[in-house]
Structure formats: C-alpha cells, structure tokens
Amino acid sequence: MKIGFVLPCYNEYDNIFVLIKQIKKIFKNHLILIVDDSTNNKIKKKISKYRNIKYFKRNNKSGRGSAVIFGMKHMIKEKKIDVIVEMDTDLSSHPRELPKNIKFFKKEKLDLLIMSRYLPGSKIINWPLRRRIFSFFSNKLANFLLKANVSDYTMGYRIYSKKAVIQIANNCGKVGSGFIVLSEILAELCYNNYKIKDTKTTFINREKGDSTVGFKLIYESLIGIFKIYFKYRRIKI
C-alpha cells in the first residue's frame, strides 16, 4: 500500500521540513505532494534535496481549499496510490497517529476519516480563545445545516480513499477557495453516500509562523456554508 500526502502550504518554511521528516520516519512507501502558495521561494530552493516529493509552486495566495483541490487533481494520476492523507503544514497535527488510523480506515472500508478535535478523548493544546470560539460556532452552524453526522467539519487532517478523491477533484472547489472547501468536501461525499467516520486526535496550536485565518476567511466561511446548504438541498429535493 502506497500512501499519498497532499500538503497545502503558505509561508511554512520553519515547519514544513519538520513535517516531511516526521512523515518519512514513519512511512517508507509514500508520495508527498506539496502545493506552495508562499510569498517567497525559500521552500522551492531546498525541497529538491528530498526524494518522493512532488512540488508545485503557485504564484499567488489562492487559498488552502484551492491548494487541496489542486493537489488532489494531481494525486489521482498516481496509479499506485490508494490512500490519500490531507494535512496542514503548521505542525498542528502529528503523523504518528496515522498508522493506527489508516488500519482502522481500511478495516472499516471508509472513504473519509476525519481526525476530530471535538470527540471525547481528543486534545486541543494552546489554541487561542478566539480561534476556539470561531471553530466551535462554525462547526455548530455547519452541523445544523448539513447534518453530516461528524463532530468536526473544519479539521484539515483527513484520510481519503482514491475513489473519494476522484469525486472531490471533479466536483469541489466551487463555493470558495479557503477553509470552507473542507465543509464542501464533506457535503459532497455525504450526499453521494460515501462512507465517513471521525476519530479522536491531538491538535496543537502552531509554535512558529502566523495563522492565515482573518476576517476575509471568516466571511467566506459564513457565506460558503449557506452556499453549500442550498447546493445540496437542491440535490436532495
């Protein structure tokens, strides 16, 4: 089994090479696909030293969700990849959780497994109060509207089947380009009867670099969740 990693990146020079080393220490048979929207070429200059990495540098900050869809469209061309992992590159999650979660994913024949911050047993460490409040209420709103039967709509630490990634690559990225795409992906898979579950995780707030979550992203997320609701509500009707 070969694991594919889709890593969206924006100005994460201080973090991304730590994550790459963590992944390579755990997984021997893997492919890492990085979509880099950074404002400089620091990562590009160093990345060639690493094996089993496909690197794409985009010239503009096009959004985290856009980067994930871009990466998935390239990942589905990799014939030997049958499990795809999406991770943020800010070291908020550790790949040490993946071996047991991938085993569970395969055993349950899932299409999407979300590492959730809001299940019993999960831990959230050093996250600012304002981010906790925004995440809590955005998840409550998403659950009220979309009813996907998961506890975390906005967590970017996920495991996908190849079949699910093909569905996502062909149909998602239409309601926004930022974090809202996480909810769009979930809705797309849910309403097309893909098998989805969540599991506990440990989430640690970044130690280096700056968060990209600002008013613009919050506004896009609020508008986007209603766009998703009306899009898939029409499908059901």
Token pair for residue 170? 């062909």
Question: Residue 234: pLDDT above 80?
Answer: no
**Strand residues in the chain grouped as ranges (E):** 2-9, 30-36, 53-57, 81-86, 112-116, 123-125, 158-161, 196-200, 202-204
Pair 236, 193: CB distance under 8 Å: no
Q: What is the pLDDT of residue 218?
A: 75
> Tell me: the pLDDT tens digits for 130-141?
888 888 888 889
> Tell me: the pLDDT tens digits for 42-79?
999 999 999 999 999 998 888 999 999 999 999 999 99
What residue has token string 């995780």?
201
> Tell me: the pLDDT tens digits for 214-228?
667 677 788 999 999
The domains of the chain, with CATH numbers, are 2-236 (3.90.550.10)
**158-161/112-116 β-pairing:** antiparallel
Question: Residue 126: pLDDT above 90?
Answer: yes
Percent of the chain whose pLDDT exceeds 90: 73
